[in-house]
Amino acid sequence: MKLQVRKAGKINSEISVPGDKSISHRAVMLGALAQGPTTVTNFLMGADCLSSIDCFKKMGAEFSRPDNNTIIVKGNGLYGLREPQDVLDVGNSGTTIRLMLGILAGQPFFSTVTGDASICKRPMGRVTEPLLEMGAVIDGRQNGSLAPLAVRGGVLKPIKFNSPVASAQVKSAIILAGLYARGQTEICEPHKSRDHTERMLAYLGAEIEVNPGDVKIKGGPTLSGKPVEVPGDISSAAFFMVAAAAIPGSRLIVKRVGLNPTRTGIIDVLKNMGAEITILNEDEVNGEPVGDICVCGSELKGTVIEGSLIPRLIDEIPVITVAAAAAAGETVIRDAAELKVKESNRIAVMAVELRKLGVNVSELEDGMIVQGGGSLKGAVCESHDDHRVAMSMAVAGLLATGETVIKNTGCIGISFPGFAETLAGLTDSANI
Ligand code: S3P
């Protein structure tokens, strides 16, 4: 599959984006550990979340799909899963493998997990090491630090874990293992990462304490199935927010998007760069803030993105580099070495692809410097099988003269089924 995109005029539109990927994964997993049904509306039917469903089906959780955006998860309680007869395959999903490892570590059975070529390159030691310390038996390639992995779980002992990285996947894996530990598990991280696991566990009845620097979870709770409404994914909204912000005179509203403060770094950055952003119709659903995001475009200027802001926009950095290319002056991104171990090495890959459009980019060990302001020229680009790279380059195509072609865009279905249609409706310029 490929996308062809032409330079866009002003955007004046109101759109919705699919449900949040992180919250959809957690609804599957926590629903599977809860007692009774969890009805999940606006569920993201993207390939990653379907991988989570597939894995938990193999462990006996039941799922039904009453309509296109709704699933009902029937769990049998914390100890209701059973030994899977086959390998658990997470596809491309880092969230599935890492969070599920935390759950598998506490199960009285044996399991094996694997994923696609990208998953088999991504670091798992950051999760398996603390789980080994809690008493799970885990082995795999490179001393248990790469998938495929084999897990023999059991009753765990609580630990105090100081995570070296600000990663919600690591934090969540240990929180979920903590459900199966005798006593209280404590997790600290260098900067606060997204806290959807904590919020959903509290909503379903777990005893969880969230402090500014740490999270404490008590083992052995009873989780009760409840309705979950998944907010629109701000990481998906970000592509269109950047497009509207970078085209002066544009006005875009994205309806009912998740506004959890651990995820709203993109709003702060676009405001710093000169876009006007307002929030309308604020609300709260299952412990998560939501609202409509209204973005008005203008001439953007470069900015610096670093420190505790990084985990609040880690998945938006590829599209932020596109905003940076369109902005006057220099944008510096640092403290973002985590980008090298995402679905692709997003520092190297975005540098290669932006250069094709004539953008001056230097790579840093932990980020990049983008010289903005030059005019972008359409080119033939590659997705590198990374959904966020593919969509970021499509946005770049809206800002570039002539035509931009993005090859291998099938990966977009990982997080944003319907992206091409939304893009086409917005600008009348994209074709699959
Ligand atoms: C996610 C956490 C982040 C993010 C990923 C989803 C989650 O990964 O990049 O897309 O749902 O917990 P890290 O925990 O590796 O930072």
SS3 223: coil
pLDDT over 70 at 350, yes or no: yes
Across 91-113, average pLDDT: 98
Predicted local confidence at residue 431, as pLDDT: 42
pLDDT tens track for 395-413: 999 999 999 999 999 999 9
Could you give the percent of the chain with pLDDT greater than 90? 98
Q: What is the Cα–Cα distance from 127 to 136, expressed in whole angstroms?
A: 11
Dist. CA 53–CA 34, nearest whole Å: 15
Binding pocket residue ranges, ligand 1, CB within 6 Å:
22, 25, 95, 167-169, 172, 193-194, 314-315, 338
254 and 356 assigned to the same domain: yes
Neighbour-count burial of 130, counting CB atoms closer than 10 A to its CB (0-12 exposed, 13-18 middle, 19+ buried): buried
Q: Are residues 6 and 50 in the same domain?
A: no
CATH number at residue 153: 3.65.10.10
From 111, 239, 252, 133, select the one nearest 187 (Cα to Cα): 133
Q: Say yes or no: 288 and 409 in one domain.
A: yes
CA 297, chain centre distance (Å) = 25
122-135 pLDDT, tens digit per residue, is: 999 999 999 999 99
Q: Which of 229, 258, 290 is at the close of a domain?
A: 229
195 plus 268 within the same structural domain: no
What's the CA-to-centroid distance between 98 and ligand 1, angstroms?
A: 9
Interval between CA 236 and ligand 1 midpoint (Å) = 14
pLDDT at 192: 98
Instruction: Give the pLDDT mean for 273-294.
Output: 98
Asked if the model's pLDDT at residue 168 lies above 50, the reply is yes
pLDDT at 214 over 80: yes
Q: Quick check: 294 and 277 in contact, CB under 8 A? A: yes
Segment 18-57, tens digit of pLDDT: 999 999 999 999 999 999 999 999 999 999 999 999 999 9
Q: Are 11 and 251 in contact (CB under 8 A)?
A: yes
Given ligand 1 and candidates 20, 23, 169, 340, which is best to mutate, with the most ligand atoms within 8 Å of its CB?
169
Same domain, residue pair 334 and 406 = yes
pLDDT of residue 428: 52
**219 and 241, same domain (yes or no):** no
User: Domain limits at 200?
Assistant: 21-229
- Indicate which residue of 315, 335, 385, 386 is catalytic: 315
Q: Is 27 found in the same domain as 14?
A: no
Same domain membership, residue 255 and residue 216:
no
Q: Which of 229, 258, 289 is the last residue of a domain?
A: 229
Tell me the pLDDT band of 429, cut-offs 50, 70 and 90: very low
Q: Reduced to 3 DSSP states, what percent helix, strand and coil does the chain have, rounded to the nearest 5?
A: 35, 30, 35
80 & 13 share domain: no
Q: State which of 229, 258, 280 marks the end of a domain.
A: 229
Q: Would the pLDDT of 432 be above 50? A: no
Number of structural domains (the chain) is: 2
- 259 plus 138 within the same structural domain: no
User: Is 315 one of the catalytic residues?
Assistant: yes
Cis before residue 261, ω within 30 degrees of 0?
A: no
Query: Domain check: are 238 and 214 in the same one?
Result: no
Please report the pLDDT score of residue 427 as a whole number: 74
Q: Do 60 and 203 reside in the same domain of the chain? A: yes
Specify whether the CB–CB gap between 2 and 409 falls below 8 A. yes
At residue 426, the pLDDT reads 87
Q: Please tell me the distance from the alpha carbon of residue 257 to that of residue 267, in angstroms, as a whole number.
A: 12
